[in-house]
């Protein structure tokens, strides 16, 4: 999958500094995910950023980090993609995962066909830049889909 790495290297161009960091973290996680054998699992990247910005979360960061360690819970959360929209956003209490009630989760699906086979996303505070985050998540998901399709 060296072609995936080459294709992803310039994806972060065109984003402002804040969004660029998000795109880079998502790209790193996606690259790790596609180079491993196929299985149901979660690859996390940029979790340390949450600890750096813990003042952005209305509650303690510890429950958030603990929730992110629960692979089964995250698989379920990421698997709940919206059919009507390419990007799914859950804010605060909309997250029915214990520990993520004080966060926002932005996800998008990707795959080789019109039906997503995997998803990627960003977890952050409820007062994040939603437009930038949604754009970054959607752009990376579309780009990875194109790579997987060989385009």
Residue 99: C-alpha distances to residues 16, 78, 105 (Å): 30, 15, 12
Q: Which helix (H) or strand (E) holds 103?
A: strand 103-110
pLDDT of res. 9: 65
Residue ranges, the chain, pLDDT below 50: 1
pLDDT of res. 137: 93
Q: Does the predicted model carry a pTM greater than 0.85?
A: no
User: Minimal CA–CA distance to 104: which of 35, 41, 53, 36?
Assistant: 53
pLDDT of res. 1: 44
In which domain, by residue range, is 90 found?
A: 2-149
Model pLDDT for residues 94-111, shown as the tens digit of each residue = 988 888 888 999 999 888
Cβ atoms of residues 136 and 105 within 8 Å: no
Which CATH number does the domain housing residue 114 bear? 3.30.450.40
Domain count, the chain: 1
């Amino acid at each position: 999958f060296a072609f995936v790495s080459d294709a992803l290297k310039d994806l972060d161009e065109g984003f402002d500094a804040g969004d660029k960091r998000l795109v880079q973290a998502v790209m790193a996680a996606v690259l790790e995910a596609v180079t491993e054998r196929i299985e149901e699992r979660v690859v996390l990247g940029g979790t340390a950023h949450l600890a750096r910005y813990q003042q952005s979360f209305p509650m303690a960061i510890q429950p958030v980090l603990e929730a992110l360690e629960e692979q089964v819970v995250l698989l379920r959360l990421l698997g709940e993609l919206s059919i009507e929209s390419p990007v799914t956003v859950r804010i605060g209490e909309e997250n029915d995962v214990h520990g993520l009630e004080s966060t926002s989760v932005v996800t998008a699906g990707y795959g080789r066909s019109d039906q997503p086979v995997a998803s990627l996303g960003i977890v952050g505070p409820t007062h994040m830049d939603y437009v930038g985050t949604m754009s970054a998540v959607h752009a990376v998901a579309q780009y990875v889909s194109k790579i997987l399709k060989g385009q």
